[in-house]
Structure 1
Amino acid sequence: MTNETKINDGRKAELLATQVEHIDIKSFDARPIIDAMKKMSFTSRDTGRAAELYNMMLADQDCAVALVVAGSTSAGGCMDLYAELVRNNMVDMIVATGATIVDMDFFEGLGHKHYQANEVPDDDTLRSLYIDRIYDTYIDEVALQNVDHTIFEIAESLAPKAYSSRAFIREMGKYLVQHGKKENSLVKLAYEHDVPIFCPAFTDSSAGFGLVKHQVDSMKAGKPYLTIDSIADFRELTDIKIKAGTTGLMMIGGGVPKNFIQDTVVCAEILGHEVDVHKYAVQITVADVRDGACSSSTLQEAASWGKVSTAMEQMVFAEATSVMPLIASDAYHRGHWRNREKRAFAKLFND
């Protein structure tokens, strides 16, 4: 080992010294704050109404709740928050980016950590140290490659056929039950509570690297290999919408997950089913509406496509780690989840 390597090892340890600590929504009661914010204006009042709508979803005995997550809030400290929503029957299905599920939650489920970037040198220096950066958060690239290889191992253990992302993520949850190092993993808890997770762009994550390696190695050996079937994702999620009837959306960010869950209404109609639009909808985003992108298109706009109701929807233009802990803590302490039916939608499918 050269002196330069020793210096770099020390520098890497220095930069990865402060772990991100995920917020515990049970440790504080946000109800008084939310109640006060409802009497204010601007983003505070929007946040108060969003919390009110989420509580309405949980109190509505006919309503199935979808948690929809895009962006890096899991890495930024909301990972345990989302896990608690599953643990306490506050969501019935999840639609998310591959990064949220694989690079962040499964990553920590294997025992790895995210770190606060208390100092940000130039990114070429970070690259030389194998440190990946998400704004002010660091990830050890060596640890992330462990995720790639673990996904490869899971793929190698499965029958070579087409899997929806939901079916493959369920296998990831099963793996964490046996080999995981974190109790509060969203992937693990979703497996244990039969809450299906969908990643419509699943290979846009560490899963992609592991699955490509699985396919390449299988092709070289002349063996069949598994694939991820995104059409099956859409079909399965639409099946859940048809089964659920009344639905509510709690959306953090936008992009593909947002459009994917909203489109189930249209898809069900194409299949000949009469289904209601999503009755409740909350979206938390900082995206600008002027570019017309899916991430920023308002819920009112979605109503024109026959996807959501305009009666009970709320846009919150805020960075989600600043408001989602308040909304989730408020809902936890109001306790409507205690009387909810456990839907266990994962049991609809035979894997």
Structure 2
Amino acid sequence: KSRSLRSIAGASVDGASVPASRQSRSFLLRPSGLPPPVIVASAGADMENGGIPSSVHATVFKQSESLEGKGHEIKGYDFNQGVDYPQLLKSMVSTGFQASNLGDAISVVNQMLDWRLADEAIAEDCSEEEKEPVYRESVRCKIFLGFTSNLISSGVRDTVRYLLQHHMVDVVVTTAGGIEEDLIKCLAPTYRGDFSLPGAQLRAKGLNRIGNLLVPNDNYCKFEDWVIPIFDQMLKEQTENNTLWTPSKLIARLGKEIKCESSYLYWAYKNNIPVFCPGLTDGSLGDMLYFHSFRNPGLIVDIVQDIRSMNGEAVHATPRKTGIIVLGGGLPKHHICNANMMRNGADYAVFVNTAQEFDGSDSGAQPDEAVSWGKIRGSAKTVKYPMHPLGPWLSKRTPNSRGTHEPVIKFILELERVGSSWCLWCPIGRLR
């Protein structure tokens, strides 16, 4: 547009011929033999702008508000500096598009990890303990982690296990598949397949497909052989000791019994991190409970106790802030957000999923929709991102972690083994 206006500015106001350079181009657009067009300035033309109407000039060359110092200049990583992964991650903020959302997600997770009660002003109505500097420095943000079962089916399970092993989250919510797949992998492996493998052929071979992953049906037979005796023992304890089982108590028992360090449920049990699953029967675990109800009926699992416990995790978090990190959508996302509504909303939220909001689904809803329900505070730091930004966790540990740890500065790019697009961005190393 500006080039066209400047060419007009070079024309004669009195109808003289267009410069030769313009004539040659003009003849290409007209029937042969016609003379060059005559350009006449309209009324009100600004003679100082070469005859361009002042309204046109003002519209096209509208003066900009200065953005200097108000935001990140768009600039990518310079690989001439070598491959510095922390700096590469840091550059995401200024790269633009979804890379900037990744940078924002890392920033919000860092804020969750860094927050201490000591950062806040002392409230007038706080207890004497809450006024003590040592106590205030020890109080951290309470982090709720939610994820869907496909992540545990994939190699992201190992990342989740790391977080639970080193007590980097405080509460977990997942689906039934997120429970059973973790346990089944301790009994038999999952393999890489292909998204286009024909279902009928796989069924004939006893192979179950999860995206591009294959789970032999024998794995579920092994799971049944392992879990049914545990249900028998739980029923015995219910009968003899009046034990009242809930989904989270059942899950903790399975984590105790699996005795496998590759299991995130094992580490959740070891570190006393509650794992909630209100949809416990929606999967193979539900199948096992169904079969058990015929063989040895009577086992009761009370979901009402768990909703009180889950909501209590948020309600009684005070004076801590709360942070939400949800990988995927559906039940885990809503259950965590709804619990935080009981405390007038979470203080931080990172949603990682590929769902869209246009169908009205909770999975695809933007964080601001949760603000309207009181599930996230209006002042909260939030971001929605369609990938997996777990890097900020993985180079730091809480004081009660075991052993020493040197930060590993590298990317996990083993997609052949992982088999999940969620791992395209799964950096190791803290963003600073």
TM over 0.5: yes
1:207-286 to 2 correspondence within 5 Å? Answer: 207-219=285-297, 225-245=298-318, 246-266=321-341, 268=342, 275-286=343-354
State whether residues 31 and 330 of structure 1, in contact with CA within 8 Å, keep that contact through their aligned partners in structure 2.
Answer: no
1:6 corresponds to: none
Runs of 4+ in 1 over 4 A off after TM superposition: 339-342
Select the structure that is richer in helix: 1
5+ long unaligned stretches in structure 1? 1-27, 220-224, 269-274, 343-351
Q: 1:59 to 1:293 in 2, by over 3 A?
A: same
Q: 1:30 to 1:94 in 2, by over 3 A?
A: farther
Residue 210 (structure 2) aligned to one of 134, 139, 143: 134
Question: What's the offset of the Cα at 1:339?
Answer: 5.0
State whether residues 30 and 329 of structure 1, in contact with CA within 8 Å, keep that contact through their aligned partners in structure 2.
Answer: no
CA distance in 1, matches of 2:219, 2:398: 38
2:383 corresponds to: 314
Amino acid at match of 2:335: F
Partner SS for 2:363: coil
Partner SS for 2:95: coil
Question: What's the offset of the Cα at 1:94?
Answer: 0.4
1:4-153 to 2 correspondence within 5 Å? Answer: 30-61=85-116, 62-102=140-180, 104-110=181-187, 112-118=188-194, 120-153=196-229
Task: Give the TM-score normalised by the residue count of structure 2.
Answer: 0.63
Q: 1:162 to 1:206 in 2, by over 3 A?
A: farther
CA distance in 2, matches of 1:296, 1:54: 20
Partner SS for 2:142: strand
Question: What's the offset of the Cα at 1:71?
Answer: 4.3
Question: What's the offset of the Cα at 1:121?
Answer: 3.4
Partner SS for 2:208: strand
Write out per-residue CA displacement over residues 90-140 of structure 1, whole angstroms, 9 at most, x where no aligned residue: 1111000110121x2111123x11111158531101001110001111101
Q: 1:339 to 1:171 in 2, by over 3 A?
A: closer
2:423 corresponds to: none
Question: What's the offset of the Cα at 1:340?
Answer: 7.8
State whether residues 113 and 139 of structure 1, in contact with CA within 8 Å, keep that contact through their aligned partners in structure 2.
Answer: yes
Question: What's the offset of the Cα at 1:162?
Answer: 4.2
Question: What's the offset of the Cα at 1:148?
Answer: 3.1
Question: What's the offset of the Cα at 1:264?
Answer: 1.4
Partner SS for 1:227: coil
CA distance in 2, matches of 1:189, 1:69: 16
1:305 corresponds to: 373
Q: 1:250 to 1:30 in 2, by over 3 A?
A: farther
Amino acid at match of 1:229: D
CA distance in 1, matches of 2:296, 2:210: 33
State whether residues 58 and 340 of structure 1, in contact with CA within 8 Å, keep that contact through their aligned partners in structure 2.
Answer: no
Q: Considering Cα pairs closer than 8 Å and 6+ residues apart, tell me whether 1 or 2 has the greater RCO.
A: 1
Write out per-residue CA displacement over residues 126-170 of structure 1, whole angstroms, 9 at most, x where no aligned residue: 001110001111101111232234222211111236422110001
Structure of larger gyration radius: 2
Matched residue count: 288
1:331 corresponds to: 393
2:361 corresponds to: 293
Write out per-residue CA displacement over residues 250-283 of structure 1, whole angstroms, 9 at most, x where no aligned residue: 10011111111111134x4xxxxxx341110000
CA distance in 1, matches of 2:350, 2:164: 18
Amino acid at match of 2:317: A
Q: 1:128 to 1:341 in 2, by over 3 A?
A: closer
CA distance in 1, matches of 2:147, 2:189: 20
CA distance in 2, matches of 1:185, 1:43: 32
Aligned-residue Cα RMSD (Å) equals 2.1
5+ long unaligned stretches in structure 2? 1-82, 117-139, 403-432
Write out per-residue CA displacement over residues 319-341 of structure 1, whole angstroms, 9 at most, x where no aligned residue: xxxx42xx2233322x2x44589
Identity %: 25
Question: What's the offset of the Cα at 1:30?
Answer: 4.8
Q: 1:295 to 1:145 in 2, by over 3 A?
A: farther
Amino acid at match of 2:286: G
